Amino acid sequence: MQVALLISGFGGQGVMFAGQLLAYAAMEQQLEVTWIPSYGPEMRGGTAHCFVVISDKPIGSPLVRHPDVALLMNTPSVHKYEAIVAAGGLVVYNQSLIPVAPTRTDVTLLPIPATQEAESLGSPRLTNMVMLGAAMTRVPVVRLESLYAALEAHLPAHRRDLLPANQRALHIGATYAQQLVPS
Amino acid sequence: MLQVVAQPIMQTVYQRPECLTDHHTHYCPGCTHGIAHRLLAEAIDELGIRTQTVLVAPVGCSVFVYDYFNVDACVAAHGRAPAMATGLKRVLPDRMVITYQGDGDLVSIGAGEILHAAARGEHITTIFVNNAVYGMTGGQMAPTTLVGQKTTSSAQGRSVSSTGYPIRMSELLSSLDGTAYIVRRSLHDPASIRKAKKAILTALKVQQAGLGFGMVELLSTCPTNWGIAPDKALEWLETNMLPYYPVGDYKVVPEVAAL
């Protein structure tokens, strides 16, 4: 079993943290995992993406040509990465910031109003957790419980007060995705 | 019957210089790169040299400056813009060769290149954007960081006993005979910005006249890495940087007066 994920957005959306959380959750489950980041030179904004590979066998390379799952958090990410998702794969996209939907017909599209849901939970910075919760319902290899546990273990000390909100965001994303009929 | 019709008279009083593309810059809010870019672009347009200009981009926040200017350009390895400019100018002497560099690029890794380009009197022009930190890499101490200034690699403030004193590049280069025009200006308020524009125009004319190496140092802000708001950053520059880096003309050969 091997699944490769791409998470992409602009600098500040928590793309890296989401990928790391996923990696830690998979480690919790004793799976093999790699995480590799990529970001532009900008101090503010710019683009950010990371690849996460989860497997039950040692992983040959952290680099991914065709992710099975893509979490796209802004429109430039759709433009850059819609085309490389593997056929039959899953594209979870942040409908709140992406007005023009991806157009591929050979992947499953999952539109999630992640920023909107995050804002109603109290902060747009919870967008990444909403996206992750939504994606994980379709990627059963990593359990939501592992993600909750990883949050407990890896949310930095100065952000501990945000733990309940982050876990709720994961839950909201998961609930939303479960209610959606795949397009 | 005579009819008098009132017609509105519309006149463009302000527009993007031809030299600047409409590409949105990626700079932080309050970054003075925006001002520096505009001044350079206006100067190039006013001299009518847009199609003769070759811009050499540095490594740093302004690494993509070639996306923002409507001129031929190339990008050098970190600090090596003066070396690339040397090659360009010597092979294409009728082009206007300009390097645009930050203080990390020019004073730190590029110290050797700028020193020798200036000493050789290369007929190039350097625009030196000095904000007393390494910007793109996250606000570390630069050779231009002030004593006592807190940065991500001098958390308790730069200490003389461990990292010595900041380098005043304009003063240093002005001691070299190959230089023709070495001045320092500031971008912290409109009056200073107007003076900076004049200096850039002069520096380009110095290259046109083949007088030698020219540099305009522009004291600049970095609100993000200084950890203060853009308007406060302008005040910080005025209060803290001007005393150590005085605005002034450090080398001006007599022929400049006739330009």
Question: Would you say the ipTM is above 0.90?
Answer: no
Residue B79 lies in a domain: yes
Residue B20 lies in a domain: no
Collapse the DSSP code of B181 into the 3-class scheme (helix H, G, I; strand E, B; otherwise coil) and give the result. Answer: strand
pLDDT number for residue B7:
77
pLDDT band of A181, cuts 50, 70, 90:
low
Which residues in B lie closer than 8 A to residue A41 (C-beta atoms)?
61, 63-64, 136
Answer yes or no: is pLDDT of A140 > 90: no
Q: What are the backbone dihedrals phi and psi of residue B141, each rounded to the nearest 5 degrees, phi first?
A: -65, 135
Residue B23 lies in a domain: no
How is residue B88 written in tokens? 């360009």
Collapse the DSSP code of A12 into the 3-class scheme (helix H, G, I; strand E, B; otherwise coil) and give the result. Answer: coil
pLDDT band of B177, cuts 50, 70, 90:
very high
Residue B201 lies in a domain: yes
Q: Are A71 and A135 in contact (CB under 8 A)?
A: yes
CATH of the domain at B46: 3.40.50.970
Residue B26 lies in a domain: no
Q: Please, what are the domains in chain A? A: 2-179 (3.40.920.10)
Q: What is the pLDDT of residues B242-251, one digit of tens each?
A: 999 999 999 9
pTM score: 0.84
How is residue B156 written in tokens? 């308790």
CA dist B36 and B193 (Å) reads 9
Nearest CA in chain A to B64: A41
Q: What is the pLDDT of residues B218-234, one digit of tens each?
A: 999 999 999 999 999 99
- In the block, residue with structure tokens 């001691």: B175
pLDDT number for residue A47:
86
pLDDT number for residue A180:
84
Collapse the DSSP code of B215 into the 3-class scheme (helix H, G, I; strand E, B; otherwise coil) and give the result. Answer: strand
If you compute the radius of gyration of chain B from its CA atoms, what whole number of angstroms results? 19
CA dist A46 and A38 (Å) reads 11
Residue B25 lies in a domain: no
Residues 37-76 of B with CB under 8 A from A: 61, 63-64
Residue B27 lies in a domain: no
pLDDT number for residue B29:
93
Are B136 and A45 an interchain contact pair (Cβ–Cβ within 8 Å)?
A: no
CA dist A66 and A49 (Å) reads 14
> Domain range spanning residue B49?
33-258
Q: What is the pLDDT of residues B27-86, one digit of tens each?
A: 999 999 999 999 999 999 999 999 999 999 999 999 999 999 999 999 999 999 999 999
pLDDT number for residue B173:
98
pLDDT number for residue A183:
46
DSSP assigned state of B90: H
CA dist B131 and B82 (Å) reads 19
Of B63, B64, B135, the CB nearest to A43: B135
- Structural domain count, chain B: 1
Residue B2 lies in a domain: no
Of B63, B64, B136, the CB nearest to A43: B136
Answer yes or no: is pLDDT of B6 > 80: no
pLDDT band of B179, cuts 50, 70, 90:
very high
CA dihedral over A148, A154, A160, A162, signed as positive or negative: negative
